[in-house]
Amino acid sequence: MTEKYISYKYAFSLVELSIVLVILGLLVGGVLTGRSLIHAAELRAVSTEYTRYFTAVQSFRDKYFALPGDMNNAASFWGAADGSTGNTAGCATTAGTGTQTCNGNGNGVIENAASSSNEAFRFWQQLANVGLISGNYVGITQGTTNSSATATNSPASKLANGYWYSSNLPTQSANGNFFDGTYGNYLALGGLVTNQWPYVSLFIPEELWNIDTKLDDGKPATGKIVAAAVSLSLAFCTNASGTNAQISANMAADYNLTVTVERCILFARNLY
């Protein structure tokens, strides 16, 4: 008698497939939750960074009677980057070694380029020289314009792609990217742009509203902390009109909390 062999093919049961799908769902959910928690931590760090830099500038001014970068006798303390007295035009384009820096013009304005310095970037260098902030900064522009910010001359934020920048902005009027008002010496946080200051939008309106509410008045057009939208109109970040001539009529604007993509830059104006 010939024996017949029957082969059986085994497959996952519905119960086993369900278990696999549940595990995959938990893994995906865990990854998404992890990313959300990381981003939330980055946003909380922004408030800490802002306070740290503001306090550092106040401490520097209390000790040296000048603003970092604008200080007209900085080379007397830390040496001149170009080996001179720190007052030459060549000093503005020389990184120097160690703590070597350049003198500002002492006019109380953090300028992109004074005649013998590059104040917006000597600003960070001199704060680091005295240990008020961490890091090492070259103190000069890193591109084809006076405001070219990179990781070598500006402090990075814990918020991904975010970099801090300090300079001076004149009074704004009917500008679709800024609300009307005086800005003076400001501290801004945006994303890097080649050969420019960091003006890529970093914040969803709700995120900047949250920071603004914790540190200021929660309004994008008033107070110290305001919204800007340099690469886009303010209409994308707030409920203000997008046309330049009407921005001045929107000083009571609110953040546009229905927008769920990055459309805002943080600006802390008239800060020091």
Tens place of pLDDT for every residue, the chain, 272 residues? Answer: 556 556 555 666 777 667 767 677 666 666 545 666 776 888 899 999 999 999 999 999 999 999 999 999 999 999 999 888 888 888 888 998 899 999 999 999 999 865 667 899 999 999 999 999 999 999 999 988 888 999 999 999 999 999 999 999 999 988 889 999 999 999 999 999 999 999 999 999 999 999 999 999 999 999 999 999 987 778 889 998 766 667 777 889 999 999 999 999 999 999 99
Q: Which of 231, 240, 222 is nearest to 265 (CA)?
A: 231
Q: What is the pTM of this model?
A: 0.85
pLDDT digits (tens, 9 = 90+) for 90-113: 888 899 889 999 999 999 999 986
Sheet strands side by side (includes 225-228): 162-169, 184-191, 265-268, 225-228
What pLDDT does residue 266 have?
97
Query: What pLDDT was estimated at residue 143?
Result: 87
The set of residues, in sequence order, having a beta carbon less than 8 Å from that of 164 and lying 6+ positions away, is 49, 53, 154, 155, 156, 157, 187, 188, 189, 198
Sign of CA dihedral 255, 230, 245, 167: positive
Check residue 34 and report its DSSP letter.
H
Residue 193 is predicted with a pLDDT of 92
